Structures are given as C-alpha cells and as structure tokens.
Amino acid sequence: MTTSTPQTDREEKRKAWQKRALLLLFLGPALILSLSIIVYPIINTVIRSFTDPATGGFSLMHYEYLFTNRIAVADIWYTLWITVITVALSVFIAYLLALYLRFSGSRIAKFIGTMYLLPRFIPGLVAVYAMKVVISDSGLINRLTLLLPEASALYNLKPGLLFNPRGIILMNLWFNIPFATMIIVAALSGISDSIIESARDVGAGRARIFLQMIVPLSIRDVMIAMTFIFMSNISSFTTPYLIGENFPQMLGVFLRKQFSNRAYERAAAISVLIFLFSSVSAIVYIYTNLKEKEWEKG
C-alpha cells in the first residue's frame, strides 16, 4: 500500500478515467444499437398505441377497437384458445417422451435422444411445407388411403387439417414438443438414480415415486417450458399465415394485416397486447438470466 500523496491520487484518478473510457468504448456501440433497435422502438410502440392518428393526442380508441370490434375479439379468443391447447398438448406429450428418454436405458431411447434435437434446425417454413404435402386433402395420407379396399371406412380419407385450427395445432406440436422435451429431460436428468432407488428401497411404489418425487422435482422446469411455449405461440405468424383460415385469424396474422394497411397505431396496440401476453415469460427470461449471470461470476 502506498501512502496517499497528491501524485498517486492523480495516478489513481487517471486509471479510473481510463477504465471508464475503455468501458464506454467497448459497450458504447452495442448500447447505441440496442437502444435504437430495441428500447426506443418498444417505448415508441407503447406511446403510439395510445395516440389518435388524426389529432396526435392521447386516445384509447385502438384498445377500444381491440376489445369491442367483433373481428378483433374473435381473433384474440381464437389465438388464446389455440395457444392454450398447444401448450397443454405439447407439454403433456413432451413429459411422457422425456420420462421415456430419461428412465429407459435402451438403445432406442438413446437414438431418439439424439434425433429429437434436429427439428430445431429446420426452418419453420420448410417444416410447414413438408407437413402440408402430407396432410393436404390430396396429399400423402389421402393417397395412401386410396390403396385400401373401397368398402373400407378410411378409403379416400381427406384429413381436413388445412385451413382450420387442427392443422395449426398439429404444426405447433411439431415445433414445440422437441423444445419442451429438451427442457424436461434436462430437469429429469437432475434427479439422480440413487434418490429413486433409495425411495424404492423404503417401499415406495412407482406411482408414489412419480407423484411425490419426480413431479415435484420437475414442475418448475415444466412451468418454464409452458411460459415459453405460450409466448412463442401467442405471437406465431408463419404457421397460421400459411395453413390458417381467413376468419378468425391468429393475432400475428391480424397484426400483419393492420401493419401492411399502414394502420400503425392499431398495429402498435396489437403489439402491446402481445407484449402483455408474453410478459410472464419475459420476466422469467430476464430474471433467470440476470441471476444466473450473477451466480456464474463468482
């Protein structure tokens, strides 16, 4: 330790300034970018959603439209309904698949364990197209049923999955089951075999081990998976745009329509609504990342 002389004081101050200048140099460009393409647009959107385009003054007209207009209300309910079903079905199936992947040591399980990661690298548009070729009314399924005897009930089956909610939900399952499985498998891998064995040793049955051990230890990650699936499906665009119907439409397609009609204030209000619907997952995402980064630091 040096004694505090005017000279070392000045030296330290210079060092502190140097560090601050360096930080500014390092962080400045990225901060400017994030302020201009993330923060400012979000704030601007919130303000615009409360603006009367004619006068530029404050107005609730766009929210009034969203919650009273027949089409808008139908679209909002339709979106919520499809999203909730998607979340429930994909998490349910993913949980079963994850249980199988975690607790069956078979080679088949290991094989599926590598194969389920791949769909995440397939662009969404491509997946929708591939599914469409199979499930359209003159697609593969229909052609296969033409091979059956004519008397058969399934002969010339038209799946009827395009341009209705069933097709959208089916496609959503394709996208979300791998993601949910990945999160749940990670949670289940955290439960060690020895804990389960010791529970079995003291006489716990399969059902009890499942309900009192496996479920409580994985429920947190299941909830996280649910919030993220909710967020990505409440705002989905590509699937409903390509295989959805004309009315009702999902919010993403409705938003696109308003945006390309240059009804920017109304588009802003729909965006704010989507932001609100995804606020839970946004908070989870930001909170866990800030916390984990803090924890890693040590």
Partner 1 sequence: MSQTVVRPPQIRRALGKKRAGGLAILFAFMLFFYGPLLYMFILAFANSYNFPAIMPNEFGFMWWDYVFKQPNTLVSITNSFLFAVCSTALSFVICIPAAYALARFQFTGRKLVMFLFLLGNAFPKIGMYTSMGIIFYKVGLMGTFMGVLLIHMLGTMMQMIWLPAGAFRSVPRHLEEAARDAGAGPLRTFFKVTLPVAWPGIAVALLYAFIGSLGESVGTLFVGLPQWRTMMTEMYGVILDFPATAGAVFALLLIIPNFVLLLLMRKYIGAETMAKGFKMS
Choose among 233, 92, 243, 107: nearest CA to 166. 243
Compare residues 135 and 214 and give the one whose CB is closer to partner 1: 135
How far is Cα 246 from Cα 256, in angstroms, rounded to an integer? 13
Shortest spacing between CB 134 and partner 1, in angstroms: 5
Rounded (10°) angle between helices 279-297 and 215-234: 120
CA diameter of the chain: 102
Compare residues 129 and 198 and give the one whose CB is closer to partner 1: 129
Within 8 A by CB and 6+ apart from 73, the residues are: 66, 67
Compare residues 3 and 246 and give the one whose CB is closer to partner 1: 246
Shortest spacing between CB 6 and partner 1, in angstroms: 26
- Detail the DSSP E strand segments found in 35-124: none
If you ran DSSP here, which 8-state letter would residue 247 be given? S
Structure tokens at 60: 């609730």
3-state class of 23 per DSSP? helix
Shortest spacing between CB 46 and partner 1, in angstroms: 9
Shortest spacing between CB 5 and partner 1, in angstroms: 26
Distances (CA, A) of 135 to 139, 144, 158, 243: 6, 11, 8, 11
Shortest spacing between CB 291 and partner 1, in angstroms: 10
Compare residues 29 and 212 and give the one whose CB is closer to partner 1: 29
Shortest spacing between CB 187 and partner 1, in angstroms: 13
Structure tokens at 172: 């959503």
Compare residues 6 and 123 and give the one whose CB is closer to partner 1: 123
How far is Cα 281 from Cα 232, in angstroms, rounded to an integer? 10
Compare residues 53 and 74 and give the one whose CB is closer to partner 1: 53
